């Protein structure tokens, strides 16, 4: 049993100082939030570690007894005991016989010492360095789609690319992660892959993902990337330079536009209609590379028909340009089968295919892949090695197990079922208010591309709607700078529950009315 009052370690302090420190440790160290996403045990561990690393408590200091801390926090004593045991296992805390727990004498802490004659304050922006002159490139004009980290705090989040806990089995993923950490896999998973990828994951991409899109590829033609965006960056670095001419869609994925702007000013933006990219032979004939989203245009969701695809491939062959196909949402087909990928019709190796595994699992996974002729994959693999070596081995092997054990296919079925219901409710709510026109993918997807009245500024609408608990994505960032159309915005239904959609659209309609001229 732990005594309620005991010596406070072996450090040479006065009795009065030790008594004052004991009171502080008993009542000041640790707080927990029962509503937090992390467990109470984990919160206790984090609080103790934070106090040790911040030197709020020092090696040798006595920690509150498990009974006292449990009473103070209003949790079970077993929760505190388990938290303390985990801290013992990691070397932050050590048990002391008949004295409870103390901060380990060799706890992994260090004291920050300022050089003699200098201030201990962080220099920050007062160092007098002219960074505008030092920097060889500026990235301040990059215009990403803003995604608030606290989006879950809003009751009506129509935000794109976020995961709803209802749509993902954390238990299945946790089981796969444990298998990936098992002794059978541990040696390879924790090692340096060098230029390679997890062969188990690559084999499942070859046998599961690509055949669904009508694509046949060998493992040597596949590179695993940190999401589709990383794949696009690698391609731009290898194929685009200041003297190269590229074509993109308008509107388009804004990060792609910013990636290309880092490489060249010769960017042509071709408009999009209900058939996707409008083919302008004069512009395309002068291009070196064309970046498109033919199966599910970003952000309008339109699909390029078969005859336009054939015409694009013919132009590529005639004028010797490369096509980069971003097939970012191909699994979200719950209304009808998705159109086969453009890559499936490519017989010359002119189409580079970019796929995402994060969209159908969860966005924080950050795994995608690149499919291209082996010669280009070798170059991309070498460039990836210089940037990040390889995507984390544990993430790759966990996803491989997720696929191998059937969880990935079950996840796709779950997504399709829930998204189908949400889309139907959203469509009915939009029809009821009749404020906007919209487009949505004929096969499913996760979002609607909305067009408001000409007088509407979607940025102002987003601000007003947020005050009413509704999150939307203003559409201006998808258009080329200087030609943005401010009355467009995106409504996604993957991150909002079906029961909240109707009220959310009602509040959005009310927000529009407050802005009406």
Architecture of the domain whose range is 170-405:
3-Layer(aba) Sandwich (3.40)
Q: Tell me the per-residue pLDDT of 150-162, one tens digit each, with 9 for 90 and over.
A: 898 999 999 998 8
What mean pLDDT is predicted for residues 277-293? 97
**Greater model confidence, 380 or 42:** 380
Mean pLDDT is lowest, of 37-46, 257-266, 488-497, 502-511, for 37-46
Query: Does the pLDDT value for residue 138 go beyond 90?
Result: no
In this prediction the pTM is 0.81
What mean pLDDT is predicted for residues 94-106? 84
Percent of the chain having pLDDT more than 90? 58
Is the CB of residue 494 less than 8 Å from the CB of residue 446? yes
Domain 15-103 CATH (choose: 3.40.50.720, 3.40.50.1970, 1.10.10.10, 2.170.260.10): 1.10.10.10
* Highest mean pLDDT of the ranges 4-8, 189-193, 249-253: 249-253
* Three-state DSSP state, 272: strand
What CA–CA distances, in Å, run from 55 to 23, 86, 105, 110, 115?
17, 20, 13, 9, 20
Nearest to 357 by CA among 407, 302, 320, 313: 407
- CA-CA distance, 12 to 18, in Å (whole number)? 9
HEC per residue, 357-376: CCCCCCHHHCCEEEECCHHH
What CA–CA distances, in Å, run from 405 to 175, 305, 400, 468?
10, 35, 9, 43
Cα torsion through 52, 54, 55, 57, rounded to 10: -50
Query: Does the pLDDT value for residue 265 go beyond 90?
Result: yes
Architecture of the domain whose range is 151-161+410-515:
Alpha-Beta Complex (3.90)
Cα torsion through 57, 61, 66, 71, rounded to 10: -60
Q: Where residue 405 falls among pLDDT bands split at 50, 70, 90?
A: very high
What mean pLDDT is predicted for residues 391-410? 92
What CA–CA distances, in Å, run from 123 to 117, 128, 129, 201?
14, 10, 11, 46
Q: Tell me the per-residue pLDDT of 502-516, one tens digit each, with 9 for 90 and over.
A: 999 999 999 999 999
Nearest to 350 by CA among 328, 320, 370: 320
Pinpoint the alpha helices (H) of 247-330.
Answer: 254-261, 281-285, 306-319
Nearest to 87 by CA among 56, 36, 47, 60: 47
Query: Does the pLDDT value for residue 22 go beyond 70?
Result: no
- CA-CA distance, 145 to 489, in Å (whole number)? 11
pLDDT for 23: 44
pLDDT for 119: 53
The domain limits of the chain are 15-103, 151-161+410-515, 170-405
- CA-CA distance, 273 to 72, in Å (whole number)? 64
pLDDT for 121: 57
- CA-CA distance, 238 to 385, in Å (whole number)? 14
């Amino acid at each position: 049993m732990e005594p309620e009052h005991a010596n406070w370690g072996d450090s040479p302090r006065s009795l009065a100082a030790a008594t004052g420190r004991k009171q502080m440790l008993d009542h000041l160290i640790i707080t927990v939030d029962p509503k937090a996403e992390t467990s109470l045990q984990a919160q206790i561990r984090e609080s103790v570690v934070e106090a040790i690393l911040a030197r709020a408590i020092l090696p040798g200091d006595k920690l509150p007894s498990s009974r006292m801390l449990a009473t103070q926090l209003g949790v079970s004593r077993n929760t505190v005991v388990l938290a303390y045991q985990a801290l013992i296992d990691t070397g932050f805390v050590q048990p002391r016989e008949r004295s409870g727990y103390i901060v380990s004498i060799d706890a992994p802490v260090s004291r920050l010492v300022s050089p003699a004659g200098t201030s201990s304050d962080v220099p920050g922006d007062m160092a007098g360095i002219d960074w505008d002159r030092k920097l060889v490139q500026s990235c301040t004009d990059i215009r990403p789609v803003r995604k608030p980290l606290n989006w879950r705090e809003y009751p009506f989040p129509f935000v794109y690319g976020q995961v709803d806990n209802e749509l993902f089995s954390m238990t299945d993923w946790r089981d796969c992660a444990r298998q990936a950490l098992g002794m059978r896999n541990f040696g390879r998973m924790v090692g340096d892959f060098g230029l390679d990828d997890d062969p188990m994951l690559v084999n499942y991409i070859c046998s599961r993902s690509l055949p669904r899109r009508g694509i046949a590829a060998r493992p040597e033609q596949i590179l695993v990337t940190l999401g589709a965006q990383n794949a696009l960056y690698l391609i731009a670095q290898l194929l685009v330079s200041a003297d190269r001419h590229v074509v993109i869609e308008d509107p388009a994925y804004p990060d792609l536009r910013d990636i290309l702007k880092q490489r060249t000013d010769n960017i042509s933006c071709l408009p999009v209609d209900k058939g996707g990219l409008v083919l302008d032979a004069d512009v395309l004939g002068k291009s070196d590379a064309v970046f498109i989203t033919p199966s599910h245009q970003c952000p309008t969701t339109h699909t390029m028909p078969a005859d336009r695809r054939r015409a694009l491939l013919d132009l590529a062959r005639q004028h010797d340009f490369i096509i980069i196909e971003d097939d970012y949402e191909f699994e979200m087909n719950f209304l009808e089968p998705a159109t086969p990928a453009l890559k499936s019709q490519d017989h010359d190796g002119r189409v580079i295919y970019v796929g995402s595994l994060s969209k159908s699992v969860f966005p924080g996974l950050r795994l995608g892949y690149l499919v291209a002729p082996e010669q280009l994959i070798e170059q991309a693999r070498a460039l990836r090695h210089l940037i990040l070596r390889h995507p984390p081995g544990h993430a790759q092997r966990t996803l491989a197990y997720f696929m191998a054990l059937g969880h990935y296919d079950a996840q796709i079925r779950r997504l399709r079922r829930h998204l189908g219901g949400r889309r139907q409710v959203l469509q009915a709510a939009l029809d009821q208010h009749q404020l906007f026109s919209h487009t949505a993918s004929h096969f499913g997807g996760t979002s609607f591309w909305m067009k408001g009245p000409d007088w509407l500024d979607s940025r102002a609408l987003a601000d007003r709607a947020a005050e009413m608990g509704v999150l939307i994505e203003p559409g201006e960032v998808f258009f080329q700078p200087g030609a943005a159309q401010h009355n467009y915005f995106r409504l996604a239904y993957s991150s909002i529950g079906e029961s909240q959609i109707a009220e959310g659209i009602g509040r959005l309609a009310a927000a529009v009315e407050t802005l009406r001229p």
